[in-house]
Structure 1
Amino acid sequence: ELEEVLKEDGADLLLDDKSFSLELWLELIEHAQQQCPAFFRLIDRIEQDMEFGRPPALKDLVFEVDLENVVTKRANLFVFMHNLSKKSRTVVFRVQSPDFRPNQISMRYDLAPGKEMWWSSESLPIAIEGNEDVLGKMTGLLRDGTMAWQTLLPERFGEATVSVRLEEVSGDLLIGRQINVNVRNEFRRRLRRIVTLSTQVMGSLVITLATVLEMLEIFNV
């Protein structure tokens, strides 16, 4: 399966390298998931849509966007677009939020058509030989598509909203979404962790002490 994503030489290099053990790969993936959960949610949604043969948000354009539900220092906004038509097209992606900096973002993308039709209207198996599976289609889709990563800096704590719009160059709306997030104080989050850990440790000590006292009482020590 790895060889469908990487070239054969690259896959062999990673698989044969003693530094990259299975445990290390799992740790790296887990760390990435913790740091950028929105990216993995976005990929998971596309994968599920492909697996069950769901149509994309737009007839001739794959569009997915995601942002963390809980934000502390910064928010990571991920956007994926892929042109399913046979002609190049230009779109404008806009981000608006009074709760983050920058408050407004406008980016223009020239989307070339994919080399193949990577989206299927029928359900697909996860992995089989060839490209007629989710893994093969996802590989081509991500390779030919456009992924954007925008960092947003919160200006206040509490509930916040981020509005995203995908438009034609003329300004006509193609699709729009509003994302609600919660901006939390990093100090409070760490303090909450410390308090929770301290409570767990104290609880364990109390249980241990009670057990020892009970044993001493049983043996009349």
Structure 2
Amino acid sequence: MSGLAAVTLLVATLVAFVAMLIGLAMLLFRPGRRKRGLTIFLGAPLVWAGLIVAMMSWDARQKGFEGIGDKGAAGLAGIEDPAEWAEIRAARRAEEAAEKAARQEAEAAEKAERERTAAEARAAAAAEKAARRQAEAAKKAEQERIAADAKAAAEAEDRRKGFHCLSGWDGSHPAFKRIVKNSMRDPDSFEHVDTLVGPVTNGWHAIRMVYRARNGFGGMNVGEAIGRYRNDDCSVEVLSLE
């Protein structure tokens, strides 16, 4: 320690010792100032200790060290030359910095690998979901196609049989039924019983309709009407009426 530091430390020690004595005296002999005396008595050592640390730190810096801790580390390593210790300290710090950089690089690589793995998992899940949706869409489209084909086939079969011209209510041909009904003596008494249709031949269907209607004597008779109608536009012709 330098001479100036030693003198300053000695003066500080004496001042702290005197302050402690003053504080002790106030604590013991001045009842009205015991609180202040206690504060001085306890604070003086703390101030002295802080001053000691500051002086030792200043002295270490004056000798070329970074502070008390740096000088203590050099002492533990058995080195007294600040320049030599500065080289060792710089080498240690460079090594620590290299280790920290390597550790950070390893952590970054590990993080990147985790992110890559997570991204691949998400991409695989998305691809699987897309494939599942595509398969479901293809299945639905196939089902719709089969249903449409079945509907078209049914409609084609109904058209071939001539059912598309018949009423969904009672199975009659509306136009044929109307013509026969209007030809009755008492159209209001007309009742449709049954309609039979033959397969299409040269674009025409044979049709036979059984009905009931009131005769001229007021009784109900069962009659039969024979005709034909076109498959394409359902136009009808009455061939016979009984």
- Asked if Structure 1 and Structure 2 have the same fold, meaning a TM-score greater than 0.5 normalized by the shorter chain, the answer is no
Relative to the length of structure 2, the TM-score reads: 0.26
Higher strand share: 1
Higher relative contact order (CA 8 A, sep 6+): 1
Higher helix share: 2
Relative to the length of structure 1, the TM-score reads: 0.28
Larger Rg: 2
